[in-house]
């Protein structure tokens, strides 16, 4: 009897074990549409104060102004739009909010009667791309989503997305059109056969592209080191750091992406298509100048300047080293201050801030920065969506709040939409203003230097200004990003503005979509180079191995890719 009871009990409970595997993973589930009106805030978590809009529906003056543009009109019937996205770990939401329920989502609902739901959201770009590829091949398209150029091509060929030409003409706001016109080439790259299929998301401006060498300031001052004018100066700084602080000199990681940033000091342009000596288009990574850069790096590795573990280090490892004070020099982009900057300063103190410097020349020749075609993503609307104009309404709202709302709406309201912790990551349907950052920098740096804030005409500028002041006055780590980009005594954008104004840059010849061969096996070709170059740097092979790697690259398809590039973009 006992045994029978026991077996019966087990039979019933065992299946539940299998159910423990179900349930939410880190992916967000789509939530049911919220009520409009008074209960909007907080969703299922009950009441919560959301900065700015409190517990009321989103109310914007712009939506009810007499002279408003027609796209402000709300849908009469509720419209549900599905999408997929990317959940940045750096996003900070007010209590109760999350990716699927926040001020933007509520605004879409309150202003346009659009309920935006996420089929899934992944926490890193690579996974998102892979998942989206699987969705595309599984026929599981969300209504609206962002894609990379190669995915756009696939979707156009398979005829799965709307032709947006007319919809764009009718529903895009003035602001959106102005932005697109500021980078006409990017806008047109979303077209095929004269029809618009992908809305280019654009970018914040070429000013965000140049790269720098970031040097830890307290160590530099303590050792009374001068700013580096030549590569030799930089090497001396690194050696001095190594000796004084027992660290290694320069951080790098296994894909060589960061180390490659300083290759321009040798007039080498890895990962970029450039004009060769004979006028044709060639790949920067396999040119002779790269050999010089590699020889220098191999030398550095022998001296212990480069992290001995770099061949297995990931980007996180690299950041961790800076955060724990194991390295004082990092080649990086303009956004160092956001990450790992915040953590470095939180851990090591405000004085441990790294400042950016122009990458110094190693050959005595002028150093040119690499500028790539800036538009990397397009917003597309799948044919399953019945209301493609909804996308443009959401895109227009972003443009309005970021660039035009100042003076029309309450400052508090604008900030609740556009504060840095949310605005970069939450609204994923948008067309950025390509002049944004350049204008911002001019006004913000001026305001910080002179105290005259009359030039700050949009919320973005005010935000960066206030962050910079916050850091200057209180040393709050969280706002380091804006400060080191624009408001500091050595702002990254300051250097970038110089570079742009003096045209000290080379534009990639790949200016738009990629040729097919590059799409097919571009990354395997890059793998060949990464592997070979790593061995050269580590001293496992000598510098002449470079020629072997290059011929391997050509044989494995590099020849074909170069040829197709010339066909597509040649003179």
Binding site for other proteins (CB under 8 A): 126, 129-130, 133, 136-137, 139, 150-151, 154-155, 157-160, 254-255, 308-309, 311-312, 519-524, 527-528, 530-531, 534-535, 538, 540, 552, 555-557
User: Residue 252, by phi and psi: left (phi above 0), alpha (psi -120 to 50) or beta?
Assistant: beta
Q: How far is the CB of 531 from other proteins (least distance, A)?
A: 5
From the number of C-beta atoms within 10 Å of its C-beta (0-12, 13-18, 19+), residue 449 rates as: exposed
Q: Is the peptide bond before 264 cis (omega within 30 degrees of 0)?
A: no
Cα 201 → chain centroid: 12
Considering the complex, state which of residue 67 and residue 159 has its C-beta at the smaller distance from other proteins: 159
Q: How far is the CB of 213 from other proteins (least distance, A)?
A: 23
Is the Cβ–Cβ distance between 273 and 508 less than 8 Å? yes
Considering the complex, state which of residue 244 and residue 540 has its C-beta at the smaller distance from other proteins: 540
Give the closest residue to 201 by CA, choosing from 430, 433, 438, 511.
Answer: 430
Q: Coil, helix or strand for 116?
A: strand
User: CA-based Rg of the chain, rounded to a whole angstrom?
Assistant: 26
Considering the complex, state which of residue 65 and residue 555 has its C-beta at the smaller distance from other proteins: 555
Q: How far is the CB of 130 from other proteins (least distance, A)?
A: 6
Q: How far is the CB of 129 from other proteins (least distance, A)?
A: 8
Considering the complex, state which of residue 89 and residue 312 has its C-beta at the smaller distance from other proteins: 312
Considering the complex, state which of residue 134 and residue 449 has its C-beta at the smaller distance from other proteins: 134
Is the Cβ–Cβ distance between 167 and 124 less than 8 Å? no
Q: How far is the CB of 174 from other proteins (least distance, A)?
A: 34
Considering the complex, state which of residue 35 and residue 127 has its C-beta at the smaller distance from other proteins: 127
Q: How far is the CB of 310 from other proteins (least distance, A)?
A: 9
Q: How far is the CB of 523 from other proteins (least distance, A)?
A: 5
Considering the complex, state which of residue 68 and residue 254 has its C-beta at the smaller distance from other proteins: 254
Beta strand pairing call for 327-332 and 212-216: antiparallel
Considering the complex, state which of residue 368 and residue 521 has its C-beta at the smaller distance from other proteins: 521
* Distances from the Cα of 441 to the Cα of 351, 449, 472, 496, angstroms: 23, 12, 17, 10
Q: How far is the CB of 4 from other proteins (least distance, A)?
A: 20
Longest dimension (CA), the chain: 92
CA dihedral (29, 48, 404, 92) positive or negative? negative
Q: How far is the CB of 258 from other proteins (least distance, A)?
A: 14
Give me 539's structure tokens.
């001293």
Neighbours of 307 (CB within 10 A): 21
Is the Cβ–Cβ distance between 499 and 208 less than 8 Å? no
Considering the complex, state which of residue 93 and residue 521 has its C-beta at the smaller distance from other proteins: 521
From the number of C-beta atoms within 10 Å of its C-beta (0-12, 13-18, 19+), residue 476 rates as: middle
Beta strand pairing call for 248-250 and 378-381: unpaired
Q: How far is the CB of 155 from other proteins (least distance, A)?
A: 6
Considering the complex, state which of residue 157 and residue 571 has its C-beta at the smaller distance from other proteins: 157
Q: Coil, helix or strand for 119?
A: strand
Give me 520's structure tokens.
């097919």
């Amino acid at each position: 009897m006992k045994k029978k009871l026991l077996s019966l009990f087990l039979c019933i409970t065992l299946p539940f074990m299998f159910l423990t595997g179900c349930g939410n993973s880190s992916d967000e589930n789509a939530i049911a549409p919220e009520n409009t009106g008074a209960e909007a805030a907080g969703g299922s978590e009950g009441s919560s104060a959301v900065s700015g809009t409190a517990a009321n529906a989103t109310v914007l003056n712009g939506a009810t102004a007499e002279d408003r543009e027609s796209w402000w009109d709300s849908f009469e019937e509720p419209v549900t739009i599905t999408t997929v996205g990317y959940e940045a770990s750096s996003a900070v939401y007010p209590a109760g909010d999350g990716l699927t329920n926040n001020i933007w989502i509520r605004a879409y609902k309150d202003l346009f009667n659009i309920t935006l739901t996420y089929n899934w959201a992944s926490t890193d770009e690579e996974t998102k791309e892979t998942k989206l590829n699987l969705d595309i091949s599984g026929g599981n398209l969300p209504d609206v989503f962002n894609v990379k150029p190669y995915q756009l091509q696939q979707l156009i060929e398979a005829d799965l997305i709307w032709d947006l030409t007319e919809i764009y003409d009718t529903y895009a706001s003035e602001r959106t059109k102005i932005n697109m016109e500021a980078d006409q080439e990017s806008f047109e790259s979303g077209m095929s056969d004269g029809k618009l299929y992908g809305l280019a998301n654009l970018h914040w401006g070429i000013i965000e592209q140049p790269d720098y060498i970031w040097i830890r300031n307290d160590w530099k001052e303590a050792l009374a080191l001068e700013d580096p004018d030549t590569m030799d100066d930089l090497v001396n700084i690194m050696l001095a750091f190594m000796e004084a602080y027992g660290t290694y000199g320069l951080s790098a990681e296994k894909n060589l992406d960061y180390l490659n940033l300083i290759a321009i000091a040798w007039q080498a342009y890895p990962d970029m298509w450039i004009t060769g000596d004979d006028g044709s288009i060639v790949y920067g990574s396999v040119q002779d100048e790269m050999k010089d850069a590699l020889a220098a790096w191999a030398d550095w590795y022998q001296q212990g300047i480069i992290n001995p573990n770099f061949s297995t280090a990931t980007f996180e490892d690299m950041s961790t080293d800076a955060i724990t004070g194991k390295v004082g020099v990092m080649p990086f982009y303009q956004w160092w201050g956001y990450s790992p900057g915040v953590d470095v300063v939180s851990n090591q103190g405000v004085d441990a801030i790294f400042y950016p410097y122009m990458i110094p020349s190693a050959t005595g020749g002028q150093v040119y920065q690499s500028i790539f075609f800036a538009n990397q993503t397009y917003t597309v609307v799948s044919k399953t969506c019945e209301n493609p104009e909804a996308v443009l309404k959401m895109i227009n709202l972003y443009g309005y709040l970021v660039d035009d709302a100042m003076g029309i709406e309450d400052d508090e309201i604008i900030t609740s939409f556009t504060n840095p912790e949310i605005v970069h990551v939450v609204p994923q349907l948008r067309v950025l203003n390509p002049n944004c950052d350049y204008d911002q920098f001019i006004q913000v740096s001026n305001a910080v230097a002179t105290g005259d804030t009359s030039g700050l005409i949009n919320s973005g500028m005010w935000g960066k200004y206030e962050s910079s002041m916050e850091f200057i006055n209180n040393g709050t780590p969280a706002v380091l990003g804006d400060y080191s980009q624009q408001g500091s005594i050595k702002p990254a954008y300051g250097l970038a503005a110089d570079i742009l104004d003096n045209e000290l840059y080379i534009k990639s010849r790949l200016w738009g979509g990629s040729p097919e061969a590059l799409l097919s096996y571009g990354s395997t070709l890059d793998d060949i180079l990464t592997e070979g170059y790593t061995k050269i740097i580590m001293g496992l092979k000598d510098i002449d191995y470079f020629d072997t790697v290059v011929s391997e690259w050509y044989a494995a398809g590099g020849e074909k890719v170069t040829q197709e590039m010339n066909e597509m973009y040649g003179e």
